[in-house]
Structure 1
Amino acid sequence: MTWQPAVREPDSLATLVHDSVRAHLFPGELDPRGFRPVPGESWRQAVLPDGTVVRADLAASPATQRRHGPRACAGIRVTGVLTVDRTGYRVAADVCIDLATRAVLSCDARIEAVSP
């Protein structure tokens, strides 16, 4: 598989989903959105610069070990709920992580609105 440039700018909701998935998988690493655990709760929360509150309640489970070109990778399935202010979304993502560098090589996320 060869690198290809993006064909369009990612939308802000997709970027939030990817950031929340990464924050869930690597909780001790630098998180650009600032997702932090909420004491006594199962979700993580971030407040965006415009004041929007984002909450993510995600769960990860191993999917498969595979290869991405010459690299050994772990497949991880992430599911859960993301809320942006008062709008809820069901999230399902298949993530491919390089085992040597912990780099997220791909994150195929599906988002479905579940409440207004």
Structure 2
Amino acid sequence: MADATSFVQTMLGFIRDAQQRLIDDFVDKKYLMEGLKFHVHHLSQSAELPQDTVSTLFILGQVHLFGGERGLDWDTLSEVIGKSRSTTRKYITELEEQGLAQRVSSRPLRIRLSEKGLALLFPEQ
């Protein structure tokens, strides 16, 4: 019985530690998400980029925060922003021309934030 109690206590310790790491990660992500919203809001107030392009940049920022090293594919981006593929392609092209996004692959078309995009949206990192 004592062996089982020790085992259970060890396992509960592992679970507690894992939960704490998750909580810490969520707190960090929340802080970064608030910063992302702040920077996107300021971008949307300036006339540097069209509003829909800024919205697309915001989505790419979220993808970056939540593990999007592979980027986001064209179809998913179109679906998320609720626009046609051709309209989404215009936003992608604008972001690429500004140096804020880069292609990860061409088939399927996948994009992610470029170094310049990361510096713009996450200057504190």
Question: What is the TM-score with the length of structure 2 in the denominator?
Answer: 0.28
Decide which structure has greater helix share.
2
Greater relative contact order (Cα 8 A, min sep 6): structure 1 or 2?
2
Decide which structure has greater strand share.
1
Query: Which one has the largest radius of gyration?
Result: 2
